[in-house]
Structure 1
Amino acid sequence: MAHLIDISASPVSATMFLLLVVCCSQAMGDLLHITHAPGYMKFVQHPIKDLPASDIPKMISHSLGLPSGEMSWNGMLQGSLFKRPKANVIVTLVGHDDMDKTPLNPKSLAKYIVHNDVPFVDIEQVTHNFKRTLFGSTPLMVELLADNANIDVKSWHEIFKKLPSTRQKLNDRLLENNSVLNQFDIGTLNISHSADAALLEELQMIRNIMEKLKSNPGYLKSKTPDFYSFTISGLKDVAQHHGGESSQVASATKLLNEFIDKMTSEFRQLYKDGVMVEVLVTKPIHGVLVRKARSLMEADTQNTATVSQVSAWKKANIAASYGDEYPAIFNIILWGMIILAVALFIISHGIWNMDPGRDSVIYRMTSQRLKKE
């Protein structure tokens, strides 16, 4: 039996109830901000359900026109069949436990609550779709991941591999005139503090990538779509060292808002508004579950791992999983065999029951020889 709550008795109580629902919904789960999308990309402001985390890679693939699994979320419409964004940029920002008190609010077209049906968003699904669909080409893909010692940039293009990746080199880069320190107001953040410097170094690496794109516009003119994935985890470190309600966290949040707004504006200029930019704000996962970084060029390693995995499946008597193309290939082979079998039966039946009379080819070929003799 359903229980209904009557909120019509008082407009004040109704308002309080709605505010309570909104606040609870914002506190539950992560948030995905759509900071920019072309006009032909349509988004529903109030979808009927929250965005599953497992649907985010599918949403990115669908937006670029790449084949992917079916989405259960109805927040993004198909839009134009003849126009697709030239690039997609997703920024994954790892927050902290007190994120609700100092929320990240970049300028966005829409934002959606993310239902964490999986531990983390698997961006590797998008790179896998690129490899499978754009086989033989080298699309512009850049992935940024950070750890305690390095900030790793993974790409097929050499220009990004030459960027400084160690923390020390990036710290030295922050002291230059055109660094993040001189382009943004860092507030109470201090570069001499390791946690503050970690956040600034991650932002500086993104700025370095943007500068490379601006100085090499030829890379943006390829026929294949481009994909960028930036992971920023420095805000979590700032909150752990200074506290979630500290002035440093407030300054870091303000800095990130300004940084994301400027980054979105620059990507719009680079791609002439033909780019889609998302910011995924996640809370930290407490435990030992982490995402293992992997290079974009590990095809051979993946194949070796797949062979060993299949061997293990055979020993364990477990059926191997099938790809997305399996239903189409299965139907093509099945119906092709059925059509060929039916055609062979009809042809054989016709030849078997053919009357070798005067109108047949057999009679014409043999009758000429008989007349000559």
Structure 2
Amino acid sequence: MALRGLGVAVLLASACLAGVCGDEFSILRSPQSVVFRDGGWPIPGDRIPDVAALFMGFSIEEDLPWPGLAAGDLFHRPRAAVLVTVKGVDKLTLPAKGISYPIENAVPFSLDSVANTIHNLFSEETPVVLQLAPSEERVYMVGKANSVFEDLSVTLRQLRNRLFQDNSILSSLPLNSLSRNNEVDLLFLSELQVLRDIVTLLSRHKHLAKDHSPDLYSLELSGLEEIGKHYGEDSQQFKDASQILVDTLQKFADEMYNLYGGNAVVEMVAVKAFNSPLTRKTRSILQSSQSDTDNPYNLAYPYNYNYSVIFNIILWMMIGLALAVIVISYNLWNMDPGYDSIIYRMTNQKIRMD
């Protein structure tokens, strides 16, 4: 398994050197129970949701031979996963404590599978599942997020009105070359306002970050992309917006990390433009046709993705039963019938009375 993962990593690295990879997948903050290796191994764009599922302790349908994520502490899983996708730029200058990996074939992805797993496993505890793209007004909330984040500004009109309130980021951020009168600049600033409001709302309801159910946040920001299209990527506005975004993201990561008591993973995906997923679909069709040829008898796959879970349950149950049998047998063998057994004790008293 390790050799196969290393071979895949070498192939992906050679592809990135050839110019295929340009986007980045970065880890801004992570607890000690989740171990990310700093090796610069490329990761396929469609497997980013599987990384989130694995470090949260969930099973995935297909094995992920990526050496960037180690096993970590299996008994202390993070209580929150935060993923911020920044469109329009393939790289952002991050602090030295962050870890970045190149993305190979950046196709559109979503954390719907992780969200569904959390909702199915912790439906009674109603965890926080929040996915949104402010510029496109796409919102997906499950459980307690419906009541806690219902006042979050998501539509363009709500975002614009939120910026001109007294406690907005316009009064604290250095705008530099950005303008309050330009719609493109306001769209970029409104997305940063959403990050600030999420932290504010969560700080008011800290009990959500202290329960046992894991939380999921998936945010997509495209305001920087619009600034690059409007002013140009060599403009001063784009440079100032990039620096403001880096500072805001780092502050957002630190605040979310602290709200969850240092037990949250904050990730960032910087992608210039998503590739068309048609090539991925074509390759999956070819793989299915090849598997039919290799399996002429239509036999079932030997095990599914729950095999490891079932195996561990049966293994430890059998070990526990074996230990119980050994302990019981040892105690029975060394038992004194005259003192340890109530049957013999009552019989001796009856004999003496007779």
Q: TM-score, normalised by structure 2?
A: 0.69
Equivalence for 1:61: 53
Distance 1:61 1:288, change over 3 A: closer
**Secondary structure in 1 aligned to 2:133?**
strand
Equivalence for 2:114: 126
Verify: 1:139 aligned to 2:127, yes or no: yes
Distance 1:263 1:190, change over 3 A: same
CA shift for structure 1 position 212: 0.6
CA contact (8 A) 1:43 1:76 kept: yes
CA contact (8 A) 1:151 1:167 kept: no
Equivalence for 1:261: 250
**Secondary structure in 2 aligned to 1:190?**
coil
Task: Quote the Cα distance in structure 1 between the aligned partners of 2:69 and 2:305.
Answer: 26
CA shift for structure 1 position 168: 2.3
Q: Residues 326-346 of structure 1: CA distance to partner in whole angstroms, max 9, x if unpaired?
A: 8759x99xxxxxxxxxxxxxx
Distance 1:206 1:186, change over 3 A: same
Provide the alpha-carbon RMSD of the alignment. Answer: 3.1
CA contact (8 A) 1:153 1:165 kept: no
Equivalence for 2:139: 152
Task: Quote the Cα distance in structure 2 between the aligned partners of 1:327 and 1:43.
Answer: 24
Task: Quote the Cα distance in structure 1 between the aligned partners of 2:116 and 2:85.
Answer: 19
**Secondary structure in 1 aligned to 2:149?**
helix
Task: Quote the Cα distance in structure 2 between the aligned partners of 1:77 and 1:288.
Answer: 28
Question: What one-letter code is carried by the residue in structure 2 that aligns with 1:60?
Answer: A
Task: Quote the Cα distance in structure 1 between the aligned partners of 2:78 and 2:237.
Answer: 37
Verify: 1:281 aligned to 2:281, yes or no: no
Question: What one-letter code is carried by the residue in structure 2 that aligns with 1:52?
Answer: P
Distance 1:153 1:328, change over 3 A: closer
Verify: 1:228 aligned to 2:243, yes or no: no
Distance 1:189 1:54, change over 3 A: same
CA contact (8 A) 1:40 1:83 kept: yes
CA contact (8 A) 1:90 1:277 kept: yes
Equivalence for 2:9: none
CA shift for structure 1 position 230: 0.8
**Secondary structure in 2 aligned to 1:277?**
strand
2:168 aligned residue (132, 157, 179): 179
Matched pairs, number: 272
CA shift for structure 1 position 229: 0.7
Distance 1:243 1:287, change over 3 A: farther
Q: Residues 57-85 of structure 1: CA distance to partner in whole angstroms, max 9, x if unpaired?
A: 11101111122232121111011122111
CA contact (8 A) 1:140 1:155 kept: yes
**Secondary structure in 2 aligned to 1:161?**
coil
Task: Quote the Cα distance in structure 1 between the aligned partners of 2:153 and 2:60.
Answer: 35
Distance 1:119 1:168, change over 3 A: same
**Secondary structure in 1 aligned to 2:65?**
coil
Question: What one-letter code is carried by the residue in structure 1 that aligns with 2:169?
Answer: V
Question: What one-letter code is carried by the residue in structure 1 that aligns with 2:94?
Answer: P
Q: Percent identity?
A: 26
2:30 aligned residue (30, 37, 44): 37
Question: What one-letter code is carried by the residue in structure 2 that aligns with 1:64?
Answer: M
Verify: 1:95 aligned to 2:78, yes or no: no
Q: Residues 210-247 of structure 1: CA distance to partner in whole angstroms, max 9, x if unpaired?
A: 11101111222221111111110111111111111111
Task: Quote the Cα distance in structure 1 between the aligned partners of 2:269 and 2:192.
Answer: 16
Q: Residues 16-44 of structure 1: CA distance to partner in whole angstroms, max 9, x if unpaired?
A: xxxxx999578833101111111232122
**Secondary structure in 1 aligned to 2:198?**
helix
CA contact (8 A) 1:34 1:109 kept: yes
Task: Quote the Cα distance in structure 1 between the aligned partners of 2:182 and 2:57.
Answer: 44
CA contact (8 A) 1:33 1:279 kept: yes
CA contact (8 A) 2:16 2:102 kept: no
Distance 1:147 1:184, change over 3 A: closer
CA contact (8 A) 2:126 2:142 kept: no
Q: Residues 252-289 of structure 1: CA distance to partner in whole angstroms, max 9, x if unpaired?
A: 10011100111011112201111111110011247799
**Secondary structure in 1 aligned to 2:37?**
coil
CA contact (8 A) 2:57 2:77 kept: yes
CA contact (8 A) 1:45 1:110 kept: yes
Task: Quote the Cα distance in structure 2 between the aligned partners of 1:63 and 1:208.
Answer: 26
1:195 aligned residue (180, 184, 190): 184
Q: TM-score, normalised by structure 1?
A: 0.66
Equivalence for 2:316: none
CA shift for structure 1 position 146: 2.9
